[in-house]
Amino acid sequence: MDNRYSFVGGDLGAWRVTEIRAIIGDGLAAVDRVDVINQAVTEVPPNSRWVLQSFTSNIRYARRDEITKLRAVQPSLNRSEAAIAVLIPIKKNARWWAMAQDERRAIFEEQSHHTAMGLEYLPQVARQLHHCRDLAEPFDFLTWFEFAPEHTQGFDHLLRRLRDSPEWGYVEREVEVRLEREG
């Protein structure tokens, strides 16, 4: 299954950790590097502190017109100029998951304007949403962002706007892992 991913925090990997910061709730153990593996890892590898399992899936809260707009401007990952990455694991609270999907969609888009806001930062910031909740992981989502160093300020502005939105009132745990690609 090629839509499974493992984010392994430890001593190995293409991405050097520059900062791990707990935004809400508990953080993650400090590591030097993160390895992104396009498959499930069943055991924590030697010299690693944590593994976050995930999978990519369909876009769950977007309408067809929003998906079309996103795909028209969404850059691919692993672009040579995208030497900065940010991994943001998020867990939402029980109130969020008790709502029906259309109620979550209303908060996500109609109130928080999540997709519309993200479109403002494309194509400079590439992103991929990973799902974890169905895997009984400690987080519900992992969001992976990549961008060139000159777009760091724009990315930080996007994060502030998202965190100020009504949707973030349902986040019970969030960690921010800042990374740089070497070589």
Q: Is the CB of residue 11 less than 8 Å from the CB of residue 30?
A: no
pLDDT of residue 42: 83
Q: What percent of the chain has pLDDT over 90?
A: 70
Q: Lowest mean pLDDT: which of 1-10, 17-26, 168-177?
A: 1-10
- The whole-model pTM stands at 0.92
Q: Is the CB of residue 109 less than 8 Å from the CB of residue 116?
A: yes
Sign of the Cα pseudo-torsion (5, 10, 12, 15, in order): positive
pLDDT digits (tens, 9 = 90+) for 110-129: 888 887 888 888 899 999 98
Query: How far is it between the farthest Cα atoms of the chain?
Result: 45
pLDDT of residue 75: 81
Q: Is the CB of residue 56 less than 8 Å from the CB of residue 11?
A: no
Question: Which class for 183: exposed (0-12), middle (13-18), buried (19 or more C-beta within 10 A)?
Answer: exposed
Decide if pLDDT at 87 tops 90: yes
Annotate 44-66 with b (16+ C-beta within 10 A) or e (fewer): eeeebeebbbbbbeeeebbeeeb
Instruction: Indicate the pLDDT class of residue 99, thresholds 50, 70 and 90.
Output: very high
d(CA 51, CA 40): 10
pLDDT of residue 1: 43
Per-residue pLDDT, averaged over 39-43, amounts to: 89
Decide if pLDDT at 30 tops 90: yes
| Residues contacting residue 132 through CB under 8 Å, at least 6 positions apart | 52, 53, 54, 55, 89, 138, 139, 140, 141, 142
Computed on alpha carbons and rounded to an integer, the radius of gyration of the chain in Å comes to: 16
Decide if pLDDT at 104 tops 60: yes
In angstroms, what CA-CA distances link 80 with 9, 12, 77, 181? 22, 20, 9, 10
